Amino acid sequence: MSEVRGDVAVLENPKGSGPQSELRRAARVMVAARWPVFAVIFLTVAAIAATLGSWLAPFDPNRQNLVLRLADPMTAGPDGGVFLLGSDALGRDVFSRLLYGARVSLTVGFAAITVGGTIGIVAGLLSGYFGGWLDDLIMRLGDIQLAFPFILLAIMFLVVLGSGVWNLILVLGVGQWVTYARIVRADTLSLREKEFVEAARAMGDSTLSIIFRTILPNILAPLTVIASFNVASVILSEAALSFLGLGVPPDVPTWGSMLAESRDTLVANKWWLAVFPGVAIMLTVLSFNILGDWLRDFLDPRLRERT
């Protein structure tokens, strides 16, 4: 099979399995779909803001300027700087706070799915491989958790545990494990009977080695799709919880808490306080959703039914 791109004929690797041809196929699917390219660009920018925010920010995000409160976007700030996106009710620079907010959103997003993914993968592997009462116990626990509206669970625990990045990660992470566990379990069930697992068993590999070295690597790919959608929904939940005042401590700027603060000046039409943090959340979440869609189409169109 060949395809003509301009004057270059791209020949597909006949086996289609080399890592290089896979990468090339990934890139081609991505460029053809167009949107994923924008998503990757935006997420790169967000990642840079999250890691280098303290150097890139023109001002200290918590520095108050009582004289320059509620300054319009693009007006002069202190020390010859410019409030690119205006200043808030305490005279803090909105742009600098947005950059710092990226750190919280992305850190919490990734850390929470790492927690949830790890619990879910281990639970799903054990459930699918051993079956029996363990399987029953794990899956019924999952049913119970899913029957409980997640946001209420999160609210309840955060009210009591108090706010903080770690509590947020823990609560949001534990909220996600069931999704991973169900998918891993189903895949483990079908892989358990495959020849290569039989072979590992026949060669005397330990049960742990079979589960984590033989089965686990074969079920990871579809999980990246789930993880991508999951980061999106975790970031949405984090924003909602921060908006309710249940997120991180008040001295840490987050997109959700910036929106909560913007409500007081809404009637005075200080639109920039309400617009920019929301746009930041929307674009981040949208990018992860687009990326998830692309990964799904790339890896296996049949996955559509499961998500």
By the criterion CB under 8 A, which residues form the site for another protein? Answer: 139-140, 143-144, 147-153, 155-157, 159-162, 232, 236-237, 239-240, 243-246, 256, 259, 262-263, 266-267, 269, 271, 274-275, 277-278, 281-283, 285-286, 289-290, 293, 304
DSSP symbol at 211:
I
CA dist 154 and 143 (Å) reads 17
User: For 91, left (φ over 0), alpha (ψ -120 to 50), or beta?
Assistant: left
Q: Which is nearer to another protein, 77 or 109 (CB)?
A: 109
Minimum Å gap between C-beta 181 and another protein is 12
Minimum Å gap between C-beta 163 and another protein is 10
Q: How many other C-beta atoms can be found within 10 angstroms of the C-beta atom of residue 203?
A: 9
Q: Which is nearer to another protein, 225 or 236 (CB)?
A: 236
Q: Which is nearer to another protein, 104 or 210 (CB)?
A: 104
The packing angle between helices 35-56 and 94-130, to 10°, is 120
Cα 170 to chain center, whole Å? 14
Q: Which is nearer to another protein, 210 or 259 (CB)?
A: 259
CA dist 254 and 260 (Å) reads 10
Whether 185 and 124 have beta carbons less than 8 Å apart is answered as yes
Strand partners, 76: 82
Give the amino acid at 20. Answer: Q
Whether 85 and 67 have beta carbons less than 8 Å apart is answered as no
Whether 219 and 192 have beta carbons less than 8 Å apart is answered as no
CA dist 223 and 94 (Å) reads 36
Minimum Å gap between C-beta 11 and another protein is 28
Give phi and psi for 4, each to the nearest 5: -100, 125
Q: Which is nearer to another protein, 216 or 274 (CB)?
A: 274
Minimum Å gap between C-beta 274 and another protein is 5
Q: Which is nearer to another protein, 63 or 304 (CB)?
A: 304
Minimum Å gap between C-beta 32 and another protein is 14
Minimum Å gap between C-beta 111 and another protein is 20
Q: Which is nearer to another protein, 220 or 266 (CB)?
A: 266
Minimum Å gap between C-beta 259 and another protein is 6
